[in-house]
Amino acid sequence: MLSNNDNNGLSRSDGKRPDGLTLVPWKEGKPLTWDSTVVCTVADSYVSGSAREAGTAAKPAAQRKEAKYATLQGTHLFQPVAVESMGTVEEATSSFLAELGHRISALSGDSREITFLFQRVSVDWLGLQRFKLTLFCCVRVLLQTAAQRMTYRVIRLP
C-alpha cells in the first residue's frame, strides 16, 4: 500500500494524528500528510465573516491545522484540507486538489479527472469521513498507478 490512514508514528503528545500519509515521497523527497476539517459557516464565530466573503471560515481552520502539525514540517509536507459546510473550499485546499487531479490525469490520460475529483469531493461535503476516505483513496490510486507504471518501465528496459 502506498498511502496509509493509520498514522501511529505521527501522533502528537495529545494523541491526535493526521488523517492520511503517503508512504512514498510526494514532493521535495518528503511524504505528504494531510488532515481534513469541515467548518460550519453558520456557527456564531464564523457567520458574520462568512456573510461578507466565502472562505473566511475555512482559512483560519486551515491555519489551525498547520499550527497543530507544525512539528511535521521537517520530515513531511503537510496539507490541511479545509472545506466550509456551505461548499466553499479553502484556497490552498483547492490548489492541492487541482494538483492531485492533474497528477491523476497525467497517469490516466483522461483530462477530465480533475473535474471528476472536484465532483466527487462536492458530493461528500456533508460526510467528512467519506471525504477523508475519498482523498485517501485518490492519493492511493495515484501512487499505485505511478508505481505500476514505473515497474512496467523497468521491465521493458533491455
> pLDDT digit string (tens) for 9-48?
565 667 778 888 888 899 999 999 999 888 888 888 888 8
Helix (H) or strand (E) holding 77: strand 77-84
pLDDT at residue number 132: 59
pTM listed for this prediction: 0.71
Per DSSP, helices labelled H in the chain are 47-52, 58-68, 91-108, 113-123, 128-156
The three three-digit cell numbers of residue 147, written as one number: 508505481
Task: Give the β-pairing of 32-39 and 77-84.
Answer: parallel
**C-alpha closest to that of 23 among 108, 143, 154, 153:** 143
Identify the pLDDT of residue 149. Answer: 63
Give me the domain span that covers residue 69.
3-156
State the total domains in the chain: 1
pLDDT in tens, 106-156: 988 999 988 888 877 765 555 555 565 556 666 666 666 666 665 544 444
